[in-house]
């Protein structure tokens, strides 16, 4: 007796009443089928799983018509592709849990990534910053220490011990991925630290270096900006000059656009990849067309290593007006409408463009789905070092000793809080009872743990959906329509970090 797999997704194709897409989560199958076939598959579903721990299930597209069985050959294809299964619901969940555990275990055996935080200090005072309290509340002034060169050496000496926890042999050739984060990591005063980190990384072997910076003092690093040293930088511009200068200000209230723009031009000219991030809420969403025009006027879009992406502002401190924030799905729809009205806006990347690109690769037979058993590298192997030698798993939770996962002592021994480390690394789409039953889970990864905790009273093993079901179906449908119409597709890697 066959039943519909609990992990079957139905995607409407706008303007096409006769066909739709079926997607299967753990087999990675994407198939165009007639609505008659889709209706038959839906008819064999055993009903929806229990209500989520909070919120509601996102509705699936409606399917009407007679649920007539297709041919035996079609049923065989549907079974081989995963849409129909002989497993009971309980058996499929048990199978899926083993599948996720195996996949997550493979991710845990990859080379870890490292972030250095030269300081928690910053020269800007952006109202929505999740670290705002560190610079404005005297009780946190002790955090504004700068990392020493000796601390850098201590942290590099600890890296092989961290890598051993991931099963990486001591004799393996390093494949270092090293980022800089803050505070503002690329303050001119931090130059000796950043240079020393790069030197030590290159001494170990193959290494990639990148930074998340406000870009105001990037000129102090001009000679380090190159494809073989500091190769990529993510910089924030929150609108065209006037709007940006209202939102991203120095401590004296002055704007920062002019210096940042000059440094973006310099970095691009030196062959560095520059990713512009724009944090958007209801107060600046109307400025995005003018921002696109400004990026074109600056000439940055002519560089192949330039990219841009919008992201929603999160209500991460008491200075942020939660009523002005947008969720990711709402922002994606607004930006898509702007693109349709003004082609220049297409240079501003949408949050889900990486999902659209993944679907285009699948439809073009140029790639496979990138399954996410967990949401981000905080749950697999990201180690963030601050100036005190403290180690964190997530950059949005740095500076709080209660949630640090470890500390590197004077002898470069890593004193891990193994319970906390296991808490982060144990969060998968199978460890949450809602995510386990969700048909989108391996594409979504369970959502951000920090945002989940913020919406559930501190439990980051809850799900954080952020409109993902709507977003997935819209992105996959758009990607298929672009593919079917022959629209040009430039397959570029995602250069952005989700802060």
Dist. CA 279–CA 92, nearest whole Å: 40
In-domain check, residue 302: yes
**3 state SS of 188:** helix
pTM of the model: 0.92
How confident is the prediction for the chain on average, in pLDDT? 92
Average pLDDT estimate for 193-222: 97
Predicted pLDDT at 498: 47
- Any domain includes 380: yes
Q: What is the pLDDT at residue 50?
A: 47
Q: Assign 130 a pLDDT band (cuts: 50, 70, 90).
A: confident
Rounded-to-integer distance, Cα 243 and Cα 230, Å? 29
pLDDT, average across residues 189-210: 97
In a domain, 247, yes or no: yes
Burial letters for 279-308: b for 16+ Cβ neighbours within 10 Å, e otherwise? bbbebbbebbbbbbebbeeeebeebebbbb
Quick one: pLDDT at residue 474?
95
- Collect all residues with Cβ–Cβ distance below 8 Å to 16 and sequence separation of at least 6: none
Name the domain count of the chain: 1
Q: Is residue 239 part of a domain?
A: yes
In the DSSP assignment, the letter for residue 302 is G
pLDDT above 70: percentage of residues in the chain:
95
Q: Is residue 447 part of a domain?
A: no
426 in a domain, yes or no? no
In this predicted structure, what is the pLDDT of residue 412?
94
For residue 254 the two structure tokens come to: 């002055």
Mean pLDDT (whole number) for 85-101: 97
**pLDDT for residue 120 is more than 90:** yes
Q: Is residue 181 part of a domain?
A: yes
CATH number for 149: 3.20.20.70
Q: Output the pLDDT for position 373.
A: 97
> Residue 311, class by beta-carbon neighbours within 10 Å (0-12 exposed, 13-18 middle, 19+ buried)?
buried
183 and 435 Cβ atoms separated by less than 8 Å: no
- Token pair of 242 as six digits: 């006037």
Q: Where does the pLDDT of residue 489 fall: very low under 50, low under 70, confident under 90, or very high at 90 and above?
A: confident
Give yes or no for residue 417 having a pLDDT over 80: yes
Within a domain: residue 18? Answer: no
The whole domain housing 388 covers: 112-351+376-421
């Amino acid at each position: 007796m066959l039943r519909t797999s609990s992990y079957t997704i139905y995607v409407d194709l706008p303007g096409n009443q006769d066909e739709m897409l079926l997607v299967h989560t753990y087999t990675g199958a994407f198939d165009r089928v007639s609505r008659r076939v889709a209706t038959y598959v839906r008819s064999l579903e055993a009903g929806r799983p229990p209500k989520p721990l909070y919120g509601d299930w996102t509705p699936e597209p409606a399917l009407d018509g007679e649920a007539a069985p297709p041919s035996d050959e079609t049923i065989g294809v549907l079974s081989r592709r995963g849409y129909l299964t002989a497993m009971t619901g309980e058996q499929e969940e048990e199978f899926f849990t083993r599948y996720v555990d195996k996949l997550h275990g493979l991710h845990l055996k990859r080379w870890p990534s490292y972030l250095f935080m030269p300081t928690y200090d910053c020269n800007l005072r952006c109202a929505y910053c999740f670290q705002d309290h560190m610079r404005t509340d005297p009780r946190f002034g002790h955090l504004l220490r700068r990392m020493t060169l000796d601390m850098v050496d201590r942290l590099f000496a600890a890296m092989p011990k961290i890598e051993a926890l991931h099963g990486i042999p001591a004799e393996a050739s390093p494949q270092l991925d090293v980022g800089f984060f803050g505070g503002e990591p690329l303050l001119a005063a931090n130059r000796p630290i950043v240079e020393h980190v790069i030197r030590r990384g290159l001494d170990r072997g193959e290494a990639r270096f990148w930074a998340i910076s406000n870009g105001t003092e990037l000129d102090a690093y001009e000679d380090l900006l190159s494809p073989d040293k500091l190769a990529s930088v993510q910089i924030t511009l929150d609108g065209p000059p006037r709007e940006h200068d209202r939102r991203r200000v120095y401590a004296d209230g002055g704007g920062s656009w002019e210096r940042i723009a000059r440094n973006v031009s310099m970095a691009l000219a030196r062959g560095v990849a520059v990713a512009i991030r724009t944090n958007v809420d209801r107060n600046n969403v109307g400025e995005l067309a003018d921002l696109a025009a400004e990026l074109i006027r600056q000439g940055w879009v002519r560089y192949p290593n330039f990219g841009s992406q919008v992201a929603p502002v999160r209500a991460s401190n008491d200075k942020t007006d939660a009523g002005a924030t947008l969720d990711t799905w709402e922002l994606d729809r607004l930006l898509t409408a702007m693109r349709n009205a003004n082609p220049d806006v297409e240079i501003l990347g949408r949050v889900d463009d990486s999902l659209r690109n993944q679907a285009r690769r699948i439809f073009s037979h140029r790639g496979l789905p990138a399954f996410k058993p967990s949401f981000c590298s905080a749950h697999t192997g990201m180690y963030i070092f601050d100036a005190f030698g403290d180690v964190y798993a997530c950059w949005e939770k740095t500076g709080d000793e209660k949630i640090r996962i470890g500390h590197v002592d004077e002898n470069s021994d890593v004193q891990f809080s193994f319970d906390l480390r296991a808490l982060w690394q144990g969060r998968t789409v199978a460890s949450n009872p809602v995510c386990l039953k969700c048909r989108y889970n391996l594409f979504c990864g369970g959502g951000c743990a920090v945002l989940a905790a913020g919406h559930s009273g501190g439990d980051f093993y809850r799900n954080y959906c952020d409109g993902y079901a709507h977003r997935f179906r819209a992105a996959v449908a758009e990607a298929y329509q672009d593919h079917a119409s022959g629209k040009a597709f430039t397959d570029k890697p995602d250069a952005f970090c989700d802060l």
